[in-house]
């Protein structure tokens, strides 16, 4: 039985993530809907006494249903069906080989009573809660050390009812860090798709120490002034795809992380091989896509493509600080479209925010080989605000084929640079910083990560670039 189940699981993983197992380790987001839909065992949450009236607390029903379905984890897995209705619940744990299915009209509502969100230990790569020292509230949908987990449906909704948490945060009434909507820890084979996320108390989706993650076809919404309601935050995770999402929140739409200062350095779990594709959204306080500021375990091999951002604060931002250590390298950003964005591209080398006084201020981050290619924008406030760290220059930062129309009434220089060095070509307005050379081809093309085939051919007719094989 165990041997046959192992064979079934290998085939399942290949069906989910077949593109990731192809020659050369190519990273794609394709997965099989037929595998998601088919679980040999299925139950409805109503079979365990759940009432979808928006008032009855159904935490026990979810817990009992998942306890029962766990007996099928070695028999092909199971599906927990959530029908139309308002299903109020506190935090509950997922299991391996599970599909949590929210049908059309189904809403899982997070309880507004903090006691229904248990308190757990901080993550080892953070050393404490992100907002407050000590422990933190557990996410509404939670799991750790799992394999093959799917959260999907017919555009059902997960609503954290976060306004009460935002008020507690603003009034200084929290005893522990606020909870996420979904957090999976040390999980392999995670799919979150075809859902709407609303009003998270804190970050919406937080895969941490995970591998083989697909986040696809989501709508994530929170008020523009809601505090720290990040959309998707892959953290110390590898082989992650985020595609075809619409996100409007009070913080970064996507933020790539890997641990905080000395705790992240010690835990040494990087984020790598992350693809973000076809994202649309708005944030008036933060960034479309951020890397950091918690990046002490390292971040590398990041591909961002087809981001559409409007009426927002910042397009792309890299955040770090002395004391972080770690690195951000091999990042390729392309096909960006901005409209009415205050700062198109921003590097912040002195972000601050440390977990405690034990960080090492001499632990400096290495920021290198970051390429921006095929970027356009209208009604831009500042094209680039690029601030590195004195004595720790950010290097091999490349801009190619960038056209940003800066607002005519702006009195600021379109580009401001300090402790950042790199190359630019076909950029308007021109980067006037002395630390940027005005050409990439042919001498410096190898210094710029992931230049596209079209621009290589346009410049010098060079042969096919191997990085394209990863798309």
Active site positions, annotated: 251
Report d(CA 349, CA 317) in Å as an integer. 11
Report d(CA 450, CA 467) in Å as an integer. 6
Dihedral class, residue 370 (left if φ above 0, else alpha if ψ from -120 to 50, else beta): beta
User: For residue 194, which of 153, 150, 231, 139 has the smallest C-alpha distance?
Assistant: 153
Longest dimension (CA), the chain: 72
Report d(CA 99, CA 104) in Å as an integer. 15
Residue 438, burial from CB neighbour count under 10 angstroms (0-12, 13-18, 19+): exposed
Tell me: cis bond preceding 308? Omega within 30 of 0 counts: no
At 297, give phi and psi (nearest 5°).
-85, -10
User: What are the residues facing 50 on neighbouring strands?
Assistant: none
Report d(CA 446, CA 310) in Å as an integer. 33
Residue 434 contacts by C-beta under 8 Å, 6 or more apart in sequence?
none
Q: Give residue for tokens 């009992």.
A: 64
User: For residue 146, which of 196, 65, 213 has the smallest C-alpha distance?
Assistant: 213
């Amino acid at each position: 039985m165990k041997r046959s189940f192992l064979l079934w699981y290998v085939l399942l993983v290949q069906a989910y993530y077949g593109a990731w197992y192809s020659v050369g380790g190519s990273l794609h987001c394709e997965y099989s809907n037929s595998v998601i839909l088919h679980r040999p065992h299925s139950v409805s949450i109503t079979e365990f006494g759940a009432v979808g009236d928006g008032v009855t607390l159904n935490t026990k029903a979810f817990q009992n249903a998942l306890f029962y379905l766990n007996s099928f984890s070695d028999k092909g897995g199971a599906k927990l069906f959530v029908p139309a209705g308002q299903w109020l619940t506190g935090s509950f744990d997922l299991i391996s080989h599970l599909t949590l299915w929210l049908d059309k009209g189904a809403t899982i509502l997070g309880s507004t009573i903090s006691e229904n969100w248990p308190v757990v230990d901080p993550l080892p790569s953070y050393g404490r809660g992100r907002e407050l020292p000590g422990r933190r509230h557990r996410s509404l949908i939670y799991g750790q050390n799992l394999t093959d987990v799917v959260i999907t449906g017919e555009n059902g909704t997960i609503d954290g009812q976060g306004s009460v948490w935002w008020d507690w945060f603003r009034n200084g009434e929290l005893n522990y860090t606020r909870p996420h909507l979904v957090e999976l820890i040390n999980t392999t084979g995670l799919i979150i798709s075809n859902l709407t996320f609303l009003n998270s108390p804190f970050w919406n989706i937080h895969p941490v120490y995970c591998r083989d993650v697909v986040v696809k076809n989501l709508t994530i919404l929170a008020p523009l002034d809601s505090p720290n309601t990040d959309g998707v935050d892959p953290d110390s995770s590898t082989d992650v795809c985020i595609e075809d999402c619409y996100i409007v929140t009070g913080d970064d739409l996507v933020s790539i992380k890997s641990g905080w200062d000395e705790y992240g350095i010690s835990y040494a779990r990087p984020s790598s091989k992350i693809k973000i594709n076809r994202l649309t959204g708005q944030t008036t306080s933060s960034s479309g896509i951020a890397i950091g500021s918690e990046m002490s375990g390292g971040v590398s091999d990041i591909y961002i493509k087809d981001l559409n951002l409007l009426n927002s604060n910042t397009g792309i931002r890299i955040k770090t600080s002395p004391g972080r250590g770690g690195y951000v390298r091999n990042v390729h950003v392309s096909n960006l479209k901005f409209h009415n964005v205050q700062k198109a591209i921003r590097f912040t080398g002195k972000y601050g925010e440390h977990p405690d006084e034990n960080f090492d201020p001499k632990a400096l981050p290495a920021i290198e080989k970051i390429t921006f290619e095929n970027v356009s924008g209208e009604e831009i406030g500042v094209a680039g605000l690029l601030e590195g760290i004195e004595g720790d220059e950010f290097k091999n930062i490349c801009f190619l084929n960038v056209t940003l129309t800066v607002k005519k009434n702006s009195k600021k220089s379109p580009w401001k640079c300090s402790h950042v060095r790199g190359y630019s070509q076909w950029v308007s307005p021109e980067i006037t910083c002395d630390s940027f050379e005005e050409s990439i081809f042919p001498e410096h093309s190898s210094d710029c990560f992931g230049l596209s085939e079209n621009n290589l051919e346009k410049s010098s007719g060079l042969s096919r670039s191997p990085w394209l094989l990863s798309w």
